[in-house]
């Protein structure tokens, strides 16, 4: 009996991408095996921490790395590290930040919510947020103004589809922080394949979710300078305790990084492009929609399928029908009021894609008006 039957759970087709509410990603057999091998064993956890630091450095070119429970935890712990460093008294005092620089600058358009507001992940460490610019625009001057305030401990930036307004020039923003002598942190949780680009901005650390495109067990990767990474690890004796990495997630990250480095990335990208192209060709034949290839807006090396739905059909209703059928199919419906549904195919196998295409065709033919 499988997990679904044993625990009376619903097997879904997830065309929503790395979605937390749907279990995020699928780890490979190799990663699953590494985790299963680690679970019954003891380890010197500091050694595991050192090995994962070396592996992250090797895979990304950064000086060092650490992991936390997830990226939300990594945000809180990295902000704590920026305020308390490795000072045991300060680490023990958090979230009381009375004698520390405790203000975090964040572009207003980067105040994203990923199920939780990023502002809360910052406040959890005892810091407060200074928003720079407006939702629509944050110039380097706006950042400079905010960074010149008192008690600034770091600059926090987000690289994600969730940000609002004109894109912030991340490299210029990092430079502005460094001119003020404070570190820059980038939350790139769903940007694992772009880690190198984000590090190239000069950011002190980049935060990445292991369970998103790396497809490891749940983990927040903190990737960057020796100094800040050391301070992040030091928080495990403070507020980082409840956000600590596990032996199984650490071993899973090690296995996933190894697989990622051995992978033929050009082939991976070509395979993803072929899946999207075949889906677009098939879906474009259906009545009531047109299908096209939608490149990732942040520059991830993958496209999604964009379905433009006739107003007469109603994209919201179509998404709802896909979700209540068997198996339930989840698609990205954020822009459904404008008639757009988006599908991410990356983790789906051929059989699932076939079911998806068939069901989409059935739902659309069912809503098609008979010819007069």
Closest to ligand PLP by CB, 240 or 288:
240
268 lies in the site for ligand PLP, by CB under 6 A:
no
Q: CB–CB of 14/25 below 8 Å?
A: no
Interface pick for ligand PLP out of 12, 20, 260, 357 (rule CB under 6 A) = 20
Interface pick for ligand PLP out of 86, 139, 140, 160 (rule CB under 6 A) = 160
Closest to ligand PLP by CB, 86 or 298:
298
19 lies in the site for ligand PLP, by CB under 6 A:
no
Q: Could you say which residues in the range 173-192 bind ligand PLP, by CB under 6 A?
A: 187, 189-190
Closest to ligand PLP by CB, 77 or 306:
77
Interface pick for ligand PLP out of 14, 53, 71, 195 (rule CB under 6 A) = 71
139 lies in the site for ligand PLP, by CB under 6 A:
no
Shortest Å distance, C-beta 303 to ligand PLP: 19
225 lies in the site for ligand PLP, by CB under 6 A:
no
| Pairing verdict, β 184-187 and 205-209 | parallel
DSSP string, 62-89: -SEEEEESSHHHHHHHHHHHHHHTT-HH
Interface pick for ligand PLP out of 67, 91, 124, 158 (rule CB under 6 A) = 158
Residues 80, 68: Cα–Cα separation, whole Å: 13
Closest to ligand PLP by CB, 139 or 160:
160
Q: Of 34, 14, 16, which Cα lies nearest the Cα of 216? A: 34
Chain centre distance of CA 180: 28
Chain centre distance of CA 94: 26
Q: Of 261, 244, 310, which Cα lies nearest the Cα of 74? A: 244
- Helical H runs in 239-370? 247-262, 265-283, 315-324, 350-367
Three-state SS for 29? Answer: helix
Shortest Å distance, C-beta 206 to ligand PLP: 12
Residues 293, 343: Cα–Cα separation, whole Å: 10
Interface pick for ligand PLP out of 66, 70, 322, 333 (rule CB under 6 A) = 70
162 lies in the site for ligand PLP, by CB under 6 A:
yes
Interface pick for ligand PLP out of 109, 183, 193, 220 (rule CB under 6 A) = 220
331 lies in the site for ligand PLP, by CB under 6 A:
no
Please identify, among the stretches 66-74, 261-269, 274-282, 353-361, the one whose residues bind ligand PLP according to the rule CB under 6 A. Answer: 66-74
156 lies in the site for ligand PLP, by CB under 6 A:
no
114 lies in the site for ligand PLP, by CB under 6 A:
yes
Please identify, among the stretches 30-38, 41-49, 65-73, 134-142, the one whose residues bind ligand PLP according to the rule CB under 6 A. Answer: 65-73
Q: Of 22, 27, 24, which Cα lies nearest the Cα of 9? A: 22
Shortest Å distance, C-beta 102 to ligand PLP: 21
User: Which strands make up the sheet holding 303-309, listed edge to edge?
Assistant: 289-295, 303-309, 340-343
Identify the burial level of 258 via C-beta atoms within 10 angstroms of its C-beta, where 0-12 means exposed, 13-18 middle and 19 or more buried.
middle
Residues 199, 145: Cα–Cα separation, whole Å: 24
Residues 152, 6: Cα–Cα separation, whole Å: 52
Closest to ligand PLP by CB, 193 or 288:
193
Site for ligand PLP (CB under 6 A): how many residues?
14
Q: CB–CB of 66/93 below 8 Å?
A: no
Binding site for ligand PLP (CB under 6 A): 20, 70-72, 112, 114, 158, 160, 162, 187, 189-190, 209, 220
């Amino acid at each position: 009996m499988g997990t679904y039957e044993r625990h009376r759970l619903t097997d879904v087709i997830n065309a929503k991408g790395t979605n937390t509410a749907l279990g995020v990603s699928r780890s490979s057999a190799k990663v699953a095996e590494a985790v299963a091998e680690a679970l019954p064993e003891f380890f010197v956890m500091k050694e595991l921490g050192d090995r994962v630091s070396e592996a992250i450095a090797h895979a990304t070119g950064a000086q060092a790395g650490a992991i936390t429970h997830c990226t939300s935890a990594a945000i809180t712990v990295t902000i704590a590290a920026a305020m308390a460093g490795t000072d045991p008294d300060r680490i023990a005092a958090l979230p009381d930040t009375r004698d520390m620089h405790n203000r975090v600058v964040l572009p207003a358009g980067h105040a994203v919510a990923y199920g939780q507001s990023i502002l809360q992940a910052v406040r959890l460490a005892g810091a407060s947020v200074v928003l720079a610019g407006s939702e629509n625009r944050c110039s380097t001057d706006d950042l400079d103004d905010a960074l010149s305030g008192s008690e600034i401990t770091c600059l926090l930036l987000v690289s994600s589809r969730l940000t609002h307004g004109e894109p912030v020039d991340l490299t210029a923003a990092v430079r502005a922080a460094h001119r003020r002598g404070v570190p820059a942190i980038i939350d790139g949780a769903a940007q694992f394949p772009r880690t190198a680009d984000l590090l190239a901005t000069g950011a002190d650390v980049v935060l990445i979710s292991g369970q998103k495109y790396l497809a490891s067990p749940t983990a927040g990767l903190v990737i960057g300078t020796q100094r800040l990474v050391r301070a992040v690890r030091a928080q495990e004796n403070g507020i980082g305790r409840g956000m600590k990495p596990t032996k199984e997630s650490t071993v899973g990250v090690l296995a996933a990084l190894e697989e990622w480095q051995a992978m033929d990335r050009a082939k991976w990208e070509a395979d993803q492009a072929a899946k999207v192209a075949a889906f677009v060709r098939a879906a474009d034949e259906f009545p009531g929609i047109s299908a096209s290839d939608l490149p990732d807006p942040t520059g991830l090396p993958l496209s999604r399928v964009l379905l433009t739905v006739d107003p007469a059909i109603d994209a919201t209703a179509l998404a709802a029908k896909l979700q209540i059928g068997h198996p339930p199919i989840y698609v990205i419906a954020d822009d459904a009021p404008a008639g757009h549904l988006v599908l991410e195919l990356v983790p789906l196998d051929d059989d699932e894609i076939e079911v998806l295409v068939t069901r989409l065709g059935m739902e659309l033919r069912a809503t098609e008006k008979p010819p007069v």
